[in-house]
Structure 1
Amino acid sequence: MRIALVHDFLMQRGGAERVLAALASRFPDAPIYTLLYDAQMTDVYLPGRDIRASFLQKLPRWIRTRYRFLFPLMPYAASRLPVGEFDLIISSSSAFAKGVRRGTHAVHVCYCHAPSRFLWDDRRQYQKDNRFHFFTRLMITVLIYPLQIWDVKTAERVDIWIANSKTTQERIRRLYHKPSAVVYPPILQLKRHMPRIKKDGGYFLVVSRLSAYKRIDAIVDAFSMLTDRLVVVGTGREEERLRARAGKNISFAGFVSDEDLAEYYAGCTAFIVACDDDFGMSAVEALSFGKPVIAYKKGGVTEWMEEGETGEFFDTQTPEAVRDAVHTFIKRKKEFDPAYMKKRAEEFSEKRFYENIMRLIPR
């Protein structure tokens, strides 16, 4: 059977790219099709793989690095990816990869991280995130509707839908009117790095892309009202703005290796997430080190987090709500059982991911 993997674009490393890497290790001979990629990134987490890009890859680098401006071209680029010769297409998609055209007798399985959030639930936040000027916002407003039509229409090109959470499953049902199975994504296996790690470094931790919709600003502003230390791991367009508003108790680590990431997880007092995420992979990774999670009570995190057992919730995305949740956690932190949290995280192992997803993929 000839198999191809398809991913939206490989310009950063986040949860979706980790899932692609897991699929790639399961299908080592499958080429990976994508709209465009950054070779410096893919050489790290997809070394030696056959990566085949669309015509967008031929554009000058200064345009490719601003790839969000290319979104109007991406539906056409996705439909032109030459995957017609393959018997099985597995797309890893939160935007355009599901729109590839398969051959007549091929099967298309889509692992959906989220329906295109920038077209639907988060379209206003997307414009804020990129801080477009007036004419660009006007162009996006004009293009949103035809892109939404394309998004819904190309949902018909998928034969089997797999959602990364019940939250995503409901969004697939609501937007595309399609049934789907839920297979939770695998977390990074970082325990092999444990010997280098201290037990508690006395800081709270954020691991995230620094994008506006992630609401890292609410966490940074909360800790500017606290004396506790905060470490932010990750990079993104919001980094400069976040650094400018951060107090002296807040530090930014940037992009880190898996070894260093393991140290940050194992050394933190608790992990914090303030966005409405579809799953919350980094938060589960923190659990795997026996670390509690302080989280906004919405989205995929509500499917696996148990208040008082694996962490604390807060109800609004405001600095005050985050601050109060930190205070509540500090009063109760001795009640959390690291062994129980580690056991809960085992439910999201690569082994379980492979077992569950292979039951759904035709052979």
Structure 2
Amino acid sequence: MDNAHRLAPAGVDCSRPLVDSSALEHLRSAAKGLRVAIVHDWLVTRGGAEKVLQAFLRAFPQAHVFTLVDSLADAERAWLGKHPVTTSFLQRMPLAKRHYRYYLPLMPAAVARFNVADYDLVISSSHAVAKGIPTHSNQAHICYCHTPMRYAWDMREGYLQDAGWQGPKAWLARYSLHRLRQWDLTTAAHVDHFWANSNNVKARIDNYYHREAEVLYPPVDVDALTVNEGERDDFYLAASRLVPYKRLDLIIEAFRAMPDKRLVVIGNGPDRKRLEALAEGASNIELLGYREDAVLHDYLRRARAFVFAADEDFGILPLEAQASGTPVIAYGSGGALETVRAPESQHDPAATGIFFDTHTPDSLRDAVASFETRRFDPSACRHNAERFSHSVFWRRTQTLLTHAGLVATPS
């Protein structure tokens, strides 16, 4: 763990200016002759995967989007622009827009029915089944892999436990996930190029699929965030979709035992009622529910620290916090090891946060206590986040497309 946080973004020349206003134009110009299809698992919210999709859509204004289910409200889909969106037969299934995950056994068949034969480049933005899109020999299929399908691999038991199934239903679900795992491994062989969202995911692609992957870190909209160099408000912030694996319960339990420290939680999701019950009676804990980006960014700028307990594939929010000059207290596993710089000494000026080592409230409380003995420089946090800017993302994308022989070498 000591050296893992020193991993630099693959393909980033840190001697070059990080702000490159021409990076997007260069990429668009290089790829303008390509007919592009982007296959995204589903459009139900605007999370980290959708921020990557948005960056690809800006790079490929000619792209056509294919997705299994699209339930984005009109007010939430402006970022899709004028790109056409084609959905699968699951869109018409009962309650699919809200309970789409229950149709997981049908998803391989749904993605297989998409027709992308007329496109030169197919990019599957995949954390579930999108990479199973059928392509032919005259096309290039690039899988931007947010993670190998967790339902089939490392989160299978947790998925079954959360579902609460017993008896024959549990047996059937286990058998279905076994079949899904076989399908996932088979379709991995049909991908021409894997791009991983982190070294963490690159290692899992190698472990599960036995395929090499290039790393293309997700972009962080650092230009939309400003640094707070002044005094901070007296609260810690946690924000994410409220689902079990994000481990907001651990954060709430830790702060229940620290009544002198205020915690603000932003986000919505299926775990909200359970988390509200867990926080009930704790006057130092406030769950705000969903908030627009502008409100979230304001909280990020004012917080003492951003608290992140998920074992995440990458994790954009810790970098958005750092782009705001806010240090991070993170669980020391997964993508956080690549995005947060832990201190190498008591007064390390380049440090941007600290890690806690075990998924327990006690470990997090110890990390908070340690955090409060240190000072973190907002400009160091910002500088670290800038290594993951949109311009870096687009420049790296053009480099990878060049290596794949899909666009000309930049002049």
Work out the CA distance in 2 between the residues paired with 1:257 and 1:21. Answer: 17
RMSD: 1.8
Structure 2 residue 96 is the aligned partner of structure 1 residue 55: no
Q: Which residue of 281, 285, 291 corresponds with 2:316? A: 281
One-letter amino acid of the structure 2 residue matched with residue 9 of structure 1: W
Q: What are the within-5 Å matches in structure 2 for residues 49-198 of structure 1?
A: 49-60=83-94, 62-132=95-165, 135-189=168-222, 191=224
Structure 1 SS opposite 2:341? coil
Q: Which residue of 251, 256, 265 corresponds with 1:224? A: 256
Which residue in the other structure is 1:340 paired with? Answer: 380
Q: Which residue of 331, 339, 353 corresponds with 2:393? A: 353
One-letter amino acid of the structure 2 residue matched with residue 166 of structure 1: N
What per-residue deviation string (whole Å, max 9, x for no partner) do you get for residues 227-250 of structure 1? 211111111111100000112211
Higher relative contact order (CA 8 A, sep 6+): 2
Mark the runs of 5 or more structure 1 residues left unpaired by the alignment. Answer: none
The worse-fitting range, judged by mean Cα deviation, of 6-15 and 165-174 is 6-15
Matched-pair contact (CA < 8 Å) for 1:126–1:213 = no
Work out the CA distance in 2 between the residues paired with 1:259 and 1:54. Answer: 33
Structure 2 SS opposite 1:63? coil
Which residue in the other structure is 2:236 paired with? Answer: 204
The worse-fitting range, judged by mean Cα deviation, of 255-264 and 340-349 is 255-264
The structure with more helix, counted as a fraction of residues: 1
Work out the CA distance in 2 between the residues paired with 1:131 and 1:166. Answer: 33
Output the TM-score relative to the length of structure 1.
0.94
Q: What are the within-5 Å matches in structure 2 for residues 25-36 of structure 1?
A: 25-36=58-69
Work out the CA distance in 2 between the residues paired with 1:329 and 1:158. Answer: 44
1:312 is displaced (CA, Å) by 1.1
Which residue in the other structure is 2:31 paired with? Answer: none
Which residue in the other structure is 1:328 paired with? Answer: 370
Structure 2 residue 279 is the aligned partner of structure 1 residue 239: no
What per-residue deviation string (whole Å, max 9, x for no partner) do you get for residues 294-320 of structure 1? 011111111232212111111111111
C-alpha change, 1:68 and 1:304, in structure 2 (3 Å) is same
Matched-pair contact (CA < 8 Å) for 1:100–1:157 = no
Which residue in the other structure is 2:13 paired with? Answer: none
The worse-fitting range, judged by mean Cα deviation, of 107-116 and 197-206 is 197-206
1:135 is displaced (CA, Å) by 4.9
One-letter amino acid of the structure 2 residue matched with residue 253 of structure 1: L
1:206 is displaced (CA, Å) by 1.0
Structure 2 SS opposite 1:157? coil
C-alpha change, 1:192 and 1:295, in structure 2 (3 Å) is closer
What per-residue deviation string (whole Å, max 9, x for no partner) do you get for residues 261-313 of structure 1? 11011011101111111112110110111111101111111123221211111
Structure 2 residue 86 is the aligned partner of structure 1 residue 46: no
Q: Which residue of 223, 236, 260 corresponds with 2:295? A: 260
Matched-pair contact (CA < 8 Å) for 1:128–1:212 = no
Matched-pair contact (CA < 8 Å) for 1:85–1:103 = no
Output the TM-score relative to the length of structure 2.
0.84
One-letter amino acid of the structure 1 residue matched with residue 342 of structure 2: E
One-letter amino acid of the structure 2 residue matched with residue 351 of structure 1: S
Report percent identity of matched pairs.
40
Matched-pair contact (CA < 8 Å) for 2:226–2:301 = no
What per-residue deviation string (whole Å, max 9, x for no partner) do you get for residues 151-189 of structure 1? 000001210110010000000000000001111111134
Count of aligned pairs between the two proteins: 359
1:139 is displaced (CA, Å) by 2.3
Structure 1 SS opposite 2:264? strand
One-letter amino acid of the structure 1 residue matched with residue 108 of structure 2: P
Structure 1 SS opposite 2:310? coil
Matched-pair contact (CA < 8 Å) for 2:236–2:263 = yes
Structure 2 SS opposite 1:348? coil
The worse-fitting range, judged by mean Cα deviation, of 38-47 and 117-126 is 38-47
Q: Which residue of 4, 10, 13 corresponds with 2:46? A: 13
Structure 2 residue 304 is the aligned partner of structure 1 residue 269: yes
Structure 2 SS opposite 1:360? helix
Mark the runs of 5 or more structure 2 residues left unpaired by the alignment. Answer: 1-33, 344-350
